[in-house]
Copies of this chain bind each other. A is one copy, B any other.
Amino acid sequence: MGERALSTQASAGASRLSVMNFLNEAANEYPQAISFASGRPAEQFFSLEGWLGAVPDYQAHAARAAGQDLVLAGRRLAQYGRTAGIINALIAEQLRLDEGVDCDASQVVVTAGCQEALALLVPALCRASGDVMLARNPTYIGITGVADFAGIEILPVECEAGENWEQALARTAAALRRAGKTARGFYLTPEFDNPTGTVLDEAERRSIIAGCLEHRIVVLEDNPYGMFRYDGESTRPMMALDPVGCVIYLATYSKTLCPAVRVGAAVLPRRLFGSEQAAERLRAEISERKSFVTVNTSQVTQALVGGVLLREGHSLRRLVDAPRRFYHDNRDVLLGALERAFGTDGEIRWNRPDGGFFLGLTLPFEFGERETVECARDHGVIVMPMTFFSLDASRRREVRLAFSNAGAAEIEAGVARLASYLGEKRASLA
């Protein structure tokens, strides 16, 4: 892998990593600054002590299922276990109830967080020289990091004026073919995208599926924020709209429970491009890869998640109700503060996300590392330049605001500080 990583990808990867280090340093250097940078879930809703108490519930369930006594079931839990996981059926049922993903246990591979699923899937899909990944632009840094370290190119797909997604994919696939390359996977977060907070509607999802089926591109449908909708109706997940089998659904318990469980899952289609054998081959391939990365996902934390799912009747709706209301209120506070600060400013714009943790703010000037430092140092507020998420260094005049982590008062104060910085900066540029 070395040579490709060092040629085509290293510079972009290195610059992304340096931005990340830079942001961590900014947060450390200005600890009093209000941060809109972190998309961490709000930790006042974590109940680790209570959730640890669910491990014995799972143990009792496993004992019953295997006809073993509790002691033996406990020992088996502490031992090495099945590479693809042990709570697959519980996860399948939760995804069916909460997300409308119709799947069964045999389609599920439990992973050490959704990030491990990406780390396994990208090299499994892009095996030959010239195989590349696609993503929307900007996109989640977790997928670009995986591609960079695997030495696999990741390229943006964007609809040009008048194009639908099927046409954009056909144009992109043709351009790649001419360059001797083949798109193998398309990563996206259709519901409350990170970093933009936007949603793909059903027509867009169907158009992407049609294009991906046409060009045999596997969709990686990431859905960490689907349970955090504040307004309107959910669109069916792409996996549920996929008639032939090109969508792999990615789930995580980092936002609905807590990140420390490090439990996620990849849900493979029953048939991959219509072929049961192809689906089975990919499933075996990612299990084999997983056996050489994490061996199996911790059965302690699988039992914790499994026990909570058993207690909750397989649905996390009740548990996410309080954090969802918190994020909803935060979004409203943020939108209100932005409206008060910039409502009459024709040059500063933002979107109104119906859910999730993020929105994008468009500015009248570029906002990069220097501006981030000035803003943090002189005005006490940290935001994320959107270029951090960009695949082509575009989006220079945008920033991402995360509203999952701060409280209402902080959000109000943070927007006021941002407004004072932007006002000062604009005056200096005039």
Contact = CB atoms under 8 A, between A and B. Distances in A.
Interface of A: 1-6, 17, 40-41, 43-44, 46, 48-49, 52, 55-56, 74-81, 112-113, 115-116, 118-119, 123, 126-129, 131, 142, 145-146, 148-152, 254, 258-262, 288-289, 291-301, 304
A17 B259 contact: no
Nearest to A111: B294
A74 B56 contact: no
A79 B49 contact: no
Contact of A260 (B6, B116, B300): B300
Contacts of A80: 40, 254, 259-260
A78 B298 contact: no
A292 B48 contact: no
B149 A295 contact: no
* Most central of A48, A113, A145 by chain B CB within 10 Å: A48
9 contacts: A6-B128, A49-B74, A78-B258, A78-B259, A145-B292, A148-B292, A260-B299, A262-B295, A262-B300
- How many identical subunits does the complex contain? 2
B294 A294 contact: yes
Given A43-B78, A292-B142, A3 B128 contact: yes
Contacts of A296: 262
A325 to B, nearest CB: 18
Given A1-B4, A149-B292, A43 B79 contact: yes
B128 A295 contact: no
Nearest to A299: B260
Contacts of A129: 2-3
Contact of A49 (B40, B56, B298): B56
A75 B292 contact: no
Given A43-B78, A149-B292, 11 more contacts: A2-B123, A2-B128, A3-B129, A40-B80, A46-B74, A48-B55, A52-B300, A145-B288, A262-B298, A298-B300, A301-B301
Nearest to A293: B119
Given A297-B262, A300-B301, A301-B300, A40 B292 contact: no
Interface centre among A6, A81, A115 (most CB of B within 10 A): A115
A40 B4 contact: no
Contacts of A261: 298, 300
A199 B251 CA distance: 44
Contacts of A304: 300
A305 to B, nearest CB: 10
A410 to B, nearest CB: 17
A6 B115 contact: no
Contact of A1 (B55, B123, B145): B123
A419 to B, nearest CB: 29
A213 to B, nearest CB: 23
